[in-house]
């Protein structure tokens, strides 16, 4: 694939899935669910097709959906109290990230990206004229705040945070947001907080949003995804929270890019959000995580840190191979052992190797079981 702004990360994400299909492998590489969505969502989408949902919705979003978002966030364990002027419905989280940066960046502003991270972060910064500054997590995927502080300069304009984090599964706690605030409270620095796996926090871990922090809130773009929540990424409906002043800036740019979002899907999501049970949703995915992790213990692969959130598990493969790079191991596992994964180095800007690969457990239980039983016998 040709380089775009110097980035070629995307090839890793497509290559493993294509290799899995070509070689008839069990595909645990991408976070694309292979199970059916709730039939009530399908019903509401059919209902939308029978209504007048073929015109543009308002730029901010369908008023029904805006109201549903307000009520949903007020019912969280850690409530997020918001108004309609702080909500914008967007096509997807990637759009929200890009447009948030467009709303605040000037040429050569620096943006701190915490690695490993999703492959769109760096390009979104560069395409908006900014300069990515990469901070690498510690070996246990935690943040060393003293070292993180060294990334902040007079040119820093924004910090991108992802919690629950893809690929590590780490979840930011209240104390983490406070630590971050203490570092930027007297600076003109914004936060872009991608929280698209908010309904997938496991065990005793609960989602605590950056938008709850009273001071951070005033300088934060907070991104959520109905595609991740409801397994409907193809419907292209997400939303972003920001204080009123930043929301106004965001919408100024959105009107010239996408304007509004899929009208029938907005109606369906609005209706479904009123009956959605996030705790049940979490339990279903946690069960899948536990099936995956329990069966993986019977193989030579090692889980050092059980994921706290998201739909991914990081796995150390060095007990199987000490010589292969993580890219070579991922290809070998996909082609020779018939189970697909992603190399962790694909989530770094300039790293050629690591000790880890990432698996997705957002799959049917039977696929997870078959894949791990196969590895147990053949690895």
Helices then strands, counting H and E runs in the chain, come out as 13, 12
pTM above 0.85, yes or no: yes
Give 213-252 pLDDT, tens digit per residue: 999 999 999 999 999 999 999 999 999 999 999 999 999 9
How far apart are the C-alpha atoms of 43 and 38, rounded to whole Å? 9
Q: Which tens digits make up the pLDDT trace of 153-180?
A: 999 999 999 999 999 999 999 999 999 9
**CA-to-CA separations, 273 to 11, 64, 269, in angstroms, rounded:** 35, 10, 6
Domain boundaries, the chain: 10-30+278-378, 40-273
Q: What angle do CA 274, 70, 173 make, to 5 degrees?
A: 105
- Look at residue 1 and tell me whether its pLDDT is greater than 50: no
Nearest to 165 by CA among 355, 347, 327: 347
**Span 264-290, pLDDT tens digits:** 999 999 999 999 999 999 999 999 999
pLDDT digits (tens, 9 = 90+) for 115-146: 999 999 999 999 999 999 999 999 999 999 99
Cα–Cα distance for residue pair 293/203, rounded to 1 Å: 14
Q: Class assignment of domain 40-273?
A: alpha beta
Dmax (CA) for the chain in angstroms is 60
CATH architecture of 10-30+278-378: Alpha-Beta Complex (3.90)
Give the model's pLDDT for residue 3: 58
- For 5-34, the pLDDT digits (tens) are 666 555 677 888 899 999 999 999 988 899
Q: Where are the alpha helices (DSSP H) in the chain?
A: 10-23, 39-49, 63-74, 93-104, 121-127, 145-149, 174-184, 226-230, 244-257, 263-273, 278-296, 326-335, 365-378
């Amino acid at each position: 694939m040709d380089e775009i702004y110097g980035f070629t990360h995307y090839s890793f994400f497509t290559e493993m899935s294509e290799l899995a299909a070509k070689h008839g492998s069990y595909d645990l590489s991408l976070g694309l669910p292979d199970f059916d969505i709730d039939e009530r969502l399908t019903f509401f989408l059919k209902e939308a097709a029978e209504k007048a949902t073929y015109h543009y919705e308002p730029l901010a979003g369908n008023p029904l959906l805006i109201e549903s978002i307000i009520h949903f966030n007020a019912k969280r364990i850690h409530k997020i109290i918001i108004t309609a002027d702080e909500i914008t419905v967007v096509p997807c989280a990637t759009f929200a990230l890009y447009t948030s940066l467009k709303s605040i960046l000037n040429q050569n502003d620096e943006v701190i990206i915490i690695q490993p991270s999703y492959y769109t972060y760096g390009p979104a910064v560069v395409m908006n004229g900014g300069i990515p500054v990469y901070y690498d997590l510690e070996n246990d995927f935690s943040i060393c705040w003293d070292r993180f502080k060294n990334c902040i300069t007079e040119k820093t304009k924004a910090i991108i945070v992802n919690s629950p984090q893809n690929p590590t599964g780490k979840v930011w706690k209240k104390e983490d947001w406070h630590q971050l605030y203490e570092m930027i409270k007297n600076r003109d620095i914004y936060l872009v907080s991608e929280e698209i796996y908010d309904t997938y926090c496991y065990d005793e871990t609960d989602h605590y949003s950056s938008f709850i922090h009273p001071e951070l809130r005033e300088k934060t773009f907070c991104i959520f995804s109905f595609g991740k929540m409801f397994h409907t990424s193809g419907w292209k409906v997400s939303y972003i929270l920001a204080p009123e002043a930043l929301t106004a800036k965001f919408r100024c740019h959105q009107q010239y890019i996408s304007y509004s979002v899929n009208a029938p899907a907005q109606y369906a999501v609005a209706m479904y959000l009123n009956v959605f049970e996030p705790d049940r949703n979490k339990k279903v995915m946690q069960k899948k995580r536990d099936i995956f992790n329990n069966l993986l213990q019977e193989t030579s692969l090692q889980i050092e840190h059980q994921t706290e959130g998201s739909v991914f598990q990081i796995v150390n493969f060095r007990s199987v191979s000490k010589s292969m790079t993580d890219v070579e191991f991922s290809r070998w596992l996909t082609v020779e052992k018939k189970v697909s994964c992603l190399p962790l180095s694909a989530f770094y800007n300039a790293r050629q190797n690591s000790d880890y690969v990432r698996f997705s457990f957002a799959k049917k239980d039977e696929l997870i079981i078959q894949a791990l039983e196969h590895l147990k016998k053949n690895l």
